[in-house]
Chain A
Amino acid sequence: MARIDCHSHIKNKVWDVSGLTPESLLEAADKLGIDSFCCSTLTFGMPTPEEFRMCNEAVLKAMREYPSKILGYCFVNPGYQTESLREIEKRVVEDGMMGVKLYNQYRCTDPVVFPIVRKAIELKVPILQHAGYITDPAEAAEQPNLSNAQDIARLASLFPEAMIIEAHLGGGGDWEWALKNLRKARSVYVDTSGSVIDMGMIEKAVKYLGAERLLFATDLSMEEGVGKILDAKISNDERRLIFGDNMSRILGMRSR
């Protein structure tokens, strides 16, 4: 049963994560039976083109060092539209990156994001959209442009051909609220990552979305990411879809 972690990271010059190196990821892969990681690296605030290119260079370096183990998302700031579109084209077509990563610079329903979505559709790559429905006011205030499941459902209705992945079901606040909102947004995938491991989360996600729309991921919560899929009371066929088959199918759609 292949295991593809569809939401992972490597660090860069300005974003450090304790103990995280490509080598530590691969060691984790050995221990947890993970075959490959789809990685991005970020900077916070409003990164300039120079800064998001620096992030993507770091990912590309890891991809080249560990081909087939580390795959890369191209991270951009949609506010720099021309530079972002050029960067995506270059990274996906020339460097072989497998998707686009959007963080919290803009809510995904902001029209500034739409050209990015069109580009991802054209290249047939997924967009991993950082998201959450944070109910704690103090926590929510830290990310004023955080997209939530309702936003993602709206975006999917505008761009039904887009392969949008809502990031970290277990890291974005009220996950039951997210599932309710995404039930009818049938083109949207959800990654299961995050440190929250509420018992019953995966079973309810399968019930509401179907196993075909769920993608295994850790977002660096390694034991949590694997353990919640192992524990879920679902069929082995459903587990196989979530662990790797769904993401394999998505990766296979990229324009060559």
Chain B
Amino acid sequence: MIIDFNAYVGHWPFRRLPARSAAEVLDLMDEAGVDVAAVSSLNSALYADPQEGNLELLDDVKKYGGRFVPLAVLNPRYPGWDDDLEECVDSGFKGIRLYPQYHNYLLSDDDCTKLSTRATELNLSVSIPVRLRDGRGRNWMDSARDVATLEVERLAAKLPNLKIVLLESSDVVDTALVEYGNIFFETSRMTSIIGGGIEDLIQLVGASRLVFGSGMPLKYISPALLKIKLLKESEDIKERILWRNSSDLLRLVQNVKRQ
């Protein structure tokens, strides 16, 4: 069983992606052996009203049952996010994904605190990609920053019951983030062979705070899978990272079979 906590559906405005629709992403999942993907709308990164992307996403994934777990992209600085959140929860969204670098706010802002407080009340995890692309080759119009460690730490400290899943995280072992039990780390940018970043993180925080993710269809899937498969850890620990921790965070009842 594999759950990919870091997946997307939609267009990326700066590059043609090989898979954009839910059907195309599902093909990728089947080829890679991924059973379930927690997906958010890429379109919502640049739409003024990200709720439109959420509705598109829902419409696209609903025919595939439990293979996709939709996550709602909300912008706490845009009016109506609270109504949008209620609508998303009623429609079956299982968590929230934030793109603060594209919606021009800090995780430590009051608006974000309000949204995150509501997420805590609803027992929804909040996942945040540190970045959606490598900045070295960015388009000149894409000036989004990488999310700073300090922002994440402030949010985690302010709301200790909020479950934060930090996607595309790397080099976290030497940061204060490991001290916060409510921060979970997605592994696609860590290493398992030379440098042993994932092993070090497991030693430090235990396996219960790591989740598998790939970044598909922005990124190839196999590198992320290799990182878990090649770990010098027990099958139990690998299972926790590959799906059990994600299943708990997303509150899934697991009975998903690949079609």
Contacts and interface: CB of A to CB of B under 8 A. Distances in A.
B195 interface: yes
B136 A139 contact: yes
Given A28-B193, A200-B16, A227 B220 contact: yes
Interface stretch (A38-46, A84-92, A100-108, A190-198): A190-198
A176 B16 CA distance: 11
A27 B193 contact: yes
B227 A223 contact: yes
Contacts of B136: 132, 134-136, 139, 171-173, 196
Contact of B223 (A171, A197, A233): A197
A196 B220 contact: no
Contacts of A32: 193, 226, 230
B27 to A, nearest CB: 11
A162 interface: no
Given A19-B196, A200-B18, A220-B194, A136 B221 contact: no
Contacts of A233: 18
B203 interface: no
Contacts of A59: none
Interface string B133-167: 11111111000000000000000000000000000
Interface residues of A, number: 42
Interface stretch (B42-50, B108-116, B211-219): B211-219
A231 B222 contact: yes
B221 A198 contact: no
Most interface-central of A28, A196, A200, A220 (chain B CB within 10 A): A200
B15 interface: yes
B214 to A, nearest CB: 9
Nearest to B196: A19
Interface residues of B, number: 34
B192 interface: yes
B17 interface: yes
A199 B223 contact: no
Contacts, number: 104
A139 B19 contact: no
A136 B223 CA distance: 25
A199 B217 CA distance: 6
B191 interface: yes
Nearest to B192: A223
A222 to B, nearest CB: 5
B222 A200 contact: no
A25 B194 contact: yes
Given A203-B18, A227-B223, A196 B194 contact: no
A197 B220 contact: yes
Given A25-B194, A31-B230, A220-B194, A197 B219 contact: yes
Contacts of A172: 136-137
A171 B16 CA distance: 19
B92 to A, nearest CB: 27
Interface in B3-31: 15-19
B222 A19 contact: no
A198 B189 CA distance: 13
A188 interface: no
Contact of B193 (A31, A136, A195): A31
A245 interface: no
A209 interface: no
A247 interface: no
A251 B257 CA distance: 48
Given A135-B136, A195-B134, A224 B223 contact: yes
B194 A199 contact: no
A236 B20 CA distance: 25
Nearest to A134: B136
A5 B19 CA distance: 29
B137 A133 contact: yes
21 contacts: A19-B194, A25-B194, A31-B230, A32-B230, A135-B136, A135-B137, A135-B139, A136-B137, A139-B135, A174-B137, A196-B134, A198-B15, A198-B219, A199-B18, A200-B17, A223-B193, A227-B220, A227-B222, A231-B221, A231-B222, A231-B223
Q: Which 7 A-B pairs have the closest CB atoms?
A: A227-B223, A227-B222, A173-B137, A174-B137, A231-B220, A19-B195, A223-B226
Interface of A: 17-20, 24-25, 27-28, 31-32, 132-136, 139, 171-177, 195-201, 203, 220, 222-224, 226-228, 230-233
Given A28-B193, A139-B135, A220-B194, 6 more contacts: A19-B195, A32-B230, A176-B15, A222-B193, A223-B191, A227-B223
